[in-house]
Chain A
Amino acid sequence: MISDSVKEAWQINTKINKAVFDHLSDEMINAPTPGNGFTVAEHVLEILHTPKHFGLKFDEAQLGALPNLYEVKGKDYIAETNLGRIREVAAQTADTVLKAAEAASSKGELPHTSIDTYLIHMMAHDAHHRGQLFLALKTNGFPLPNDDLVWGPWKNE
């Protein structure tokens, strides 16, 4: 139910997210974004939870089975900071979303015009949060992942 180019782009985007999550250390995970913004862990939660949030609307069974990377305390959502757990759920989420998208016979209740559009929206959403996550790292004195890892996967040269 998805086009080959969107599938390929999803796999590239998954590779980029993995490179970013592999780059993170325990010291980096609580770094705040300037302007009282999200911590690195909260950006990661946005990247991993949003595809599930929308994905439930076309495949509740598969997407609903994905673990949540937050704990609810009162009115607050506390983002997971364990990097091993983050990497494990990231791989599982990317793989499950792709399989569910490929298997879907309709877009169900998804508020996008197609599953392809939903996936492209999620890739843009990831890139928005990666851009802000990098600024959280930079302004807190941490090194950034190499450009080859963040942009290189899009190209085949």
Chain B
Amino acid sequence: MINDSLKESWRINTDINLNVLEHLSPEMLQAQTPGAGLTVAQHLVHMMDALKFWGQFFDKARFATIPDLFEAKSESLSPVKDLGQMREVMKRSRELALESANAATSKGKLPYYSIESFLIHIIAHDAHHRGQIVLALKTNNFPLPGDKAIWSPWRTE
């Protein structure tokens, strides 16, 4: 059972991720982070994969149902390029995590102090990668999602 303010923060963070996904075009997904970093698609897949990976430590049955968003291509893993699928998996996986965290009676084998700490970590992890996605877009001359998309949801004003 998680507290109401964390539930609300989780929903806000999900909305921000969905706002970013709504802003993206297929061309933007291929933009690379400066310093030979991840592409926008790779950041997004990593964000979704991190939740699935760690979530299975306390609720394997639920988290294992989250689809993998990468395709095995020869020796490397390539992220899928279907924005519709990415949006759907982002939305569903975040709802599933909240349902699971709320229903959990123990943290199982999760190597965090609590399920709540894990969820706050994922919120911070997402924000770290969104910061880098914004720079990948900027340095590849794509328009950026505005403050209204990525910061305003935290506030009620």
Contacts and interface: CB of A to CB of B under 8 A. Distances in A.
B112 interface: yes
Contacts of A9: 116-117, 120-121
B5 A125 contact: no
A124 to B, nearest CB: 4
Interface residues of A, number: 37
Nearest to A153: B121
B155 A124 contact: no
Contact of B154 (A35, A121, A126): A121
Interface in A108-131: 111-114, 116-117, 120-121, 123-131
Interface stretch (A22-30, A70-78, A90-98, A132-140): A132-140
B127 A33 contact: no
Nearest to B138: A35
B9 A117 contact: yes
B111 A155 contact: yes
Q: Tell me the dominant secondary structure on chain B's binding face.
A: helix
Nearest to A115: B5
Contact of B8 (A111, A113, A154): A113
A3 B3 contact: yes
B145 interface: no
B122 to A, nearest CB: 9
Interface of B: 2-3, 5-6, 8-9, 12-13, 33-35, 37, 111-114, 116-118, 120-121, 123-132, 134-135, 138-139, 151, 154-157
Interface of A: 3, 5-6, 8-9, 12-13, 33-35, 37, 111-114, 116-117, 120-121, 123-132, 135, 138-139, 151, 154-157
